[in-house]
Amino acid sequence: MKTPFSMLITVAWRNLWRNHRRSLIMLAAITIGLWGMIWMTALMRGMVDQMIDDAISTLSGHIQIHAPGYLDDPSIEHLIADVSDNPALEALLYSPQVTAWSQRIRVPAVIRSERDVYGVTLVGINPPREQGLSFIADSVVDGKYLQSVDDQHVLLGRKLAEQLETKLGRRIVLMSQDPDNNIAERGFRIGGIYDTDLQATETRFVFAGIETVRKLLKMGSGVSEISLLGHDYRHIDGLASEVRAVAGNAQTSTWMQLDPYMASMLDVMDGFILVWFSIIFLALSFGLINTLLMAVFERTREIGLIQALGMPPGNILFMVLVESVIMLLIGLLAGNLLSWLTILPIRDGIDISAVAQGLEWAGMSSILLPAVKVSDVLLANAIVLVLGVAASLFPAWRASRKVPVEAITRIWQ
């Protein structure tokens, strides 16, 4: 480049501040535009992340192994062997790729109190193994969590306890069907009440120790499912393949296959972010183009003068682009700062309980946690910068073609 870069920077910087008000308005637009991109995306991403986390922690895990046919008929008839009977699978479950895993028995059941009767899913769990895998270990708010696989108590959801008009310490009766299709029923004392963000979960699941459930159902060592967690819910296909390879005839499913609605939310979210970014940028680009065109129009004489003095057209174009880039960079800096300052106070979540009940159908919880993804922030910055420069090309090109006589005659006359 013929023209020294330092000179272009100096001239562009000083030109930027010739019309303070216009530049500040444009900077405010860039700042608020970027802030809108990052802040809204963080909330939307947080909402979807939380919905998926909730879905995953509501017993599904990242990957589940079932007997063939279980997903269509989740009954006691479709069981898989205990993991101790499959050394290859057991080795994989204890490998570093798997952060938590557990075996469960899940059967449809009926729960009865002295007041009411409801249909539920009875889940027999290995209590220590559920730590870090599902919500239940951390959700008991009244009483205590199950102590062992043969704990004789059951855990009920807060809402279910309300519906049954029962409470901690009272007895309920659980009734289900054993492998021989006979009715199995037994009374249990309520050892704990759990509370979750989703009432549907509280009314659906009743937890008991896995050995206790086996005894109730007079069954052997089989289990309904093995649930496990990898490291990242977005990238579990590789781990699923490895599980599938050692799971024998059992059916291996990812959370995306088990809950396609939630999986589609991820794709919808990615699409939404792009659409959202595009809308904000479109609004921004009109302002940017207008500002630069005005700046170029006002400086027609000056641009003619600079060209008369020997600055090549390409450098004029570059000078206007530098002006735009400086403005964009300052705006991006301010936008990132504003985003950080506004997300920091809500990093522990926003309570939306006033509307959470209405949104529960979508699996949303009452606390909305913002999720700032570096890739989203980089994408927002890149879109504003790259498309901002692209939007500036037209005014810059017009400036570089200004030599034709109208610019010059304004100087001479």
Partner 1 sequence: MNSSAVSCRRVSKVFAQGELAVHALSSIDLEIASGGFVCLSGPSGSGKTTLLNMIGGLDRPSGGEITVAGQRIDRMSMADLAELRLQHIGFVFQAYNLIPVLSARENVEFVMQLQGVPATERRERAMAILADVGLQGMEDRRPGALSGGQQQRVAVARAIVSKPALILADEPTANLDSVTAEKLMQLMRDLNAQIGTTFVISTHDKLMMSYAKRLLKLHDGRIIDDIVQHDRQHD
Binding site for partner 1 (CB under 8 A): 2-4, 7, 10-11, 14-15, 18, 301-302, 304-314, 403-405, 408-413
* Per-residue CA distances from 79 to 21, 57, 88, 297, 339 (Å): 72, 22, 19, 77, 51
* Smallest separation (angstroms) from partner 1 to the CB of 391: 23
| Residue number with CB closer to partner 1 (196 or 307) | 307
How far apart are alpha carbons 168 and 192 in whole angstroms?
A: 6
| Residue number with CB closer to partner 1 (96 or 404) | 404
CB 208 within 8 A of CB 171: no
- The CB density around residue 289, as the number of other CB atoms within 10 Å, is 17
At 159, the amino acid letter reads K
| Residue number with CB closer to partner 1 (298 or 360) | 298
* Smallest separation (angstroms) from partner 1 to the CB of 283: 30
* Per-residue CA distances from 261 to 144, 229, 360, 361 (Å): 34, 19, 14, 12
* Smallest separation (angstroms) from partner 1 to the CB of 301: 5
* Per-residue CA distances from 267 to 234, 262, 271 (Å): 11, 9, 6
Strand, coil or helix: what is 167? coil
| Residue number with CB closer to partner 1 (62 or 299) | 299
Assigned token pair, 351: 């309570």
* Smallest separation (angstroms) from partner 1 to the CB of 322: 13
| Residue number with CB closer to partner 1 (150 or 302) | 302
Query: Which positions ≥6 away from 280 have C-beta within 8 Å?
Result: 33, 36, 37
* Smallest separation (angstroms) from partner 1 to the CB of 398: 14
* Smallest separation (angstroms) from partner 1 to the CB of 302: 6
- The CB density around residue 47, as the number of other CB atoms within 10 Å, is 22
CB 205 within 8 A of CB 166: no
| Residue number with CB closer to partner 1 (16 or 67) | 16
| Residue number with CB closer to partner 1 (309 or 354) | 309
> What does DSSP say about strands 171-177 and 183-194: parallel, antiparallel, or unpaired?
antiparallel
| Residue number with CB closer to partner 1 (269 or 303) | 303
| Residue number with CB closer to partner 1 (24 or 341) | 24
CA dihedral 328, 333, 334, 338 (to 10 degrees): 130
* Smallest separation (angstroms) from partner 1 to the CB of 313: 5
* Smallest separation (angstroms) from partner 1 to the CB of 295: 12
* Smallest separation (angstroms) from partner 1 to the CB of 238: 55
| Residue number with CB closer to partner 1 (178 or 302) | 302
CB 137 within 8 A of CB 189: no
* Smallest separation (angstroms) from partner 1 to the CB of 307: 6
| Residue number with CB closer to partner 1 (67 or 311) | 311
DSSP summary character for residue 84: G
How far apart are alpha carbons 235 and 230 in whole angstroms?
A: 8
Host H or E run for residue 358: helix 353-359
How far apart are alpha carbons 176 and 80 in whole angstroms?
A: 19
* Smallest separation (angstroms) from partner 1 to the CB of 405: 5
For 6-26, letters b (16+ CB in 10 Å) and e give eebeebbeebbeeeeebbeeb
